[in-house]
Amino acid sequence: MSEKQCEFCSVCRYNHDQGRKHIYNKSHQQKVSVIISKFTDKVQSARRCLVKPLVVEGELEPDSRVWCYCCDKEVPRHTTTGDITVQWGGLIQHLASSGHHKCTRRYWWLHHIDHDKLQMFLIHRTELNKYTELMGTEVQKVETRIKQKQERTAMASVLREQAIQQAAVLEPQGTGLIVRTPSSSTVPSSNKSKQHHGNVHTGATPPWLRPDDDDSDVEEPVSKRPRHIGPCEEEFKKHREHVIRSKLNPNRVGANFYKEKKNMSGDNWLPSFGSVWNYGARSKSKQLLTFSKNQNSGTSVSKHVTESNCIVKPYVRKRTK
């Protein structure tokens, strides 16, 4: 009795000795369907570009690759020259190659896949020729666009250099400034506001080379000085502290600390935090506190409370020894 030869399944990733029976297993067919669904999404994206090629400027997704399950290798996703990139161009060229056609048919037979799905993963020569013509027109449009941008940037650089040369001829004379243009004509500084109109590309003086109005020695009156919009930093800090204090309890301990600090006298001054520094029972200090509060608020106080707060009698023992 001869031993069966083991085979390696690239889909299930293990060796088996079942021969052709292995491809009909349920687990094998499920894994094949997952692979086909993954590859279908990428092939459909590439097939959309057959009808309308997508050509962009610059290099899009450099070194981006797609894994071809039929050929068992990586292929480039896009085709690029550095300045222009054709999206999905690399995958389209691979799907149209003869090597891919051969490997795909073998893959379909090896894993017993539905033959109706085969044509989606193959690009024929007629489709490739139409795609090449459409891609050529799109590439020409992008190239002309790039040339126009390069011409605009070159013109802008020339105008910028001319503006810098004109602004470099500014010389002080008297109280004002004289602007000397290349035509040797002079313009007094009283008309310098006219020179500020425009921008660098139209030949005007750039803002970083214009004389500052603050450099003049003559001080402007207060009414003509520019007003600052909004509060200054100090006013904002005071307002923020006021808002924070307004949310606190006004009857809290130490609320009048800053007011008492102004009236302190001597080095032995201590804050009156609820009369904690006084001698005697806590009840007496509480009576003093209520008396001071009522006196400040203007309410009437009973005579008993006032006398007990004002007159302090010595302790008399009631029981005799």
In a domain, 311, yes or no: no
Residue ending a domain, choose from 200, 215, 230: 215
Higher local confidence (pLDDT), 277 or 12:
12
In a domain, 90, yes or no: yes
Report the chain's mean pLDDT, rounded to a whole number. Answer: 77
Digit-coded pLDDT (tens) for 41-81: 999 999 999 888 999 888 888 888 999 999 989 999 999 88
Based on the fold, state whether residues 116 and 36 are members of the same structural domain. yes
Cβ neighbours, 10 Å, residue 92? 24
In a domain, 309, yes or no: no
Q: Which residue has the tokens 């250099």?
A: 161
Based on the fold, state whether residues 115 and 158 are members of the same structural domain. no
- State the total domains in the chain: 2
What is the structure's pLDDT at 292? 75
Based on the fold, state whether residues 17 and 96 are members of the same structural domain. yes
Residue ending a domain, choose from 54, 88, 123: 123
In a domain, 209, yes or no: yes
Please check whether residue 206 is in contact with residue 163, taking contact to mean a CB–CB distance below 8 angstroms.
yes
Higher local confidence (pLDDT), 307 or 68:
68
Q: Which residues of 61-79 are buried (b: 16+ CB within 10 A; e: fewer)?
A: eeeeebebbbbeeebbbbb
DSSP state of 204: P
Based on the fold, state whether residues 111 and 12 are members of the same structural domain. yes
In a domain, 164, yes or no: yes
What is the structure's pLDDT at 271? 61
What is the structure's pLDDT at 208? 78
What is the structure's pLDDT at 275? 62
Based on the fold, state whether residues 36 and 92 are members of the same structural domain. yes
Measured distance CA(262)–CA(272) in Å, rounded: 14
Based on the fold, state whether residues 17 and 106 are members of the same structural domain. yes
DSSP state of 42: H
Based on the fold, state whether residues 93 and 193 are members of the same structural domain. no
Based on the fold, state whether residues 77 and 168 are members of the same structural domain. no
Based on the fold, state whether residues 167 and 112 are members of the same structural domain. no
In a domain, 153, yes or no: yes
SS3 content of the chain, % helix, strand, coil (to 5): 50, 10, 40
DSSP state of 279: -
What is the structure's pLDDT at 298? 59
In a domain, 208, yes or no: yes
Digit-coded pLDDT (tens) for 95-113: 999 999 999 999 998 888 8
Q: Domain of 206?
A: 149-215
Based on the fold, state whether residues 109 and 186 are members of the same structural domain. no
Measured distance CA(86)–CA(78) in Å, rounded: 6
In a domain, 297, yes or no: no
Digit-coded pLDDT (tens) for 189-240: 444 444 456 676 777 777 777 776 655 555 555 555 555 666 788 888 999 9
What is the structure's pLDDT at 321? 61
Residue ending a domain, choose from 160, 190, 215: 215
Higher local confidence (pLDDT), 157 or 204:
157
Based on the fold, state whether residues 85 and 11 are members of the same structural domain. yes
Based on the fold, state whether residues 111 and 154 are members of the same structural domain. no
Q: Give the residue from 119, 123, 116, 113 showing the smallest Cα distance to 36.
A: 113
